[in-house]
Amino acid sequence: MASHFKVYILKLRNGSYYVGHTNDLQRRLQEHREGIACSHTKKYSIRRLLWSESQPDRANAAKREREIKGWSRMKKEALWKREVGSS
């Protein structure tokens, strides 16, 4: 069974990171770009998608989002730097 949920990290124009989860990443990114997804990304605008990860269901995606939100900036950056280094 394919995963239908993604946890993702966006880089915002002010240099901060936004962590979220969704069952439709392309739609959610469009909502962020249009400023209709949340007030934070509307205020600071997204620059780009940095990282995403599949999760088997909404509960796991929400749990992983909360986990990552609690991490330091350095630990978040290690997620995509590790993936780039292993490619």
Higher per-residue confidence, 58 vs 36: 58
User: What pLDDT is recorded for position 84?
Assistant: 59
Domain spans of the chain? 5-86
Q: What is the mean pLDDT of the chain?
A: 90
When pLDDT is averaged across residues 31-52 and rounded to a whole number, the result is 90
pLDDT band (50, 70, 90) for residue 41 = confident
pLDDT tens for each residue of 64-84: 999 999 999 999 999 988 765
Q: Does domain 5-86 have CATH number 2.30.30?
A: no
* Residue 45 or 64, more confident: 64
Res 1: pLDDT:
47
Distance set, CA 71 to CA 8, 47, 65, 66 (Å): 14, 21, 10, 9
Q: In what order do the strands lie in the sheet with 17-22?
A: 17-22, 5-12, 46-55
CB 47 within 8 A of CB 12: yes
